[in-house]
Amino acid sequence: MAVRVQTADFDVGAELAALRSGNPAVGAVASFIGCVRDMNEGDRVGGMFLEHYPGMTERELEKIAAEAKARWDIFDTLIIHRVGELKPLDQIVLVAVTSAHRGEALAACEFIMDYLKTRAPFWKRESTPEGERWVDARVSDDAAAARWDAGAAR
């Protein structure tokens, strides 16, 4: 159930190998990687700065991982989120989940990502040709997280 907030990049292959190493019960590893795009809201993005609230960030991510573990029959989770200066093509976030079967791993991975987007205290400031701007929260992200609250399957 590891959670890491760091400025450094991460090696997806090495992280996924480590997550399932030594556990022959793992039949599925689901992962999501978020990356910096060079376009947002119709403007070219030259780079971004990711700010967070140290302490609360780790606690929120741990709560989200624990919630996923309570909802699905999964073995382990990994959440890595980068902060600081990032540029297009850079990796921002890695979420990975191991379980016996793909259904649980895929659902838990998507759940963690949806909750992370609406609950973990990170903020993006983009550099565009018009200057720096803070990214606004999206209504669609709230809707994505809310569908897990309904209790029913998606």
Partner 1 sequence: MSSHITLVYLARLRERFGAARETLPLAGETTVAGLLETLRARGGEFAVELAAGRAFRVAVNQEVAGPEQRIVAGDEVAIFPPVTGG
Contact between 52 and partner 1 by CB under 8 A: the answer reads yes
Strand order from edge to edge, sheet including 131-134: 84-86, 47-52, 122-128, 131-134
- Least distance between partner 1 and beta carbon 24 (Å): 32
Q: Please select the residue that binds partner 1; options are 16, 20, 34, 67, rule is CB under 8 A.
A: 34
Site for partner 1 in 80-99 (CB under 8 A): 81, 92-93
Q: What is the DSSP string of 18-56?
A: HHHTT-TT--EEEEEEEE--SEETTEE--EEEEEE-TTH
- Least distance between partner 1 and beta carbon 22 (Å): 30
Residues of the shown chain interacting with partner 1 in the complex, contacts defined by CB under 8 A = 34, 50-53, 55-56, 59, 81, 92-93, 113, 116-125, 134-138
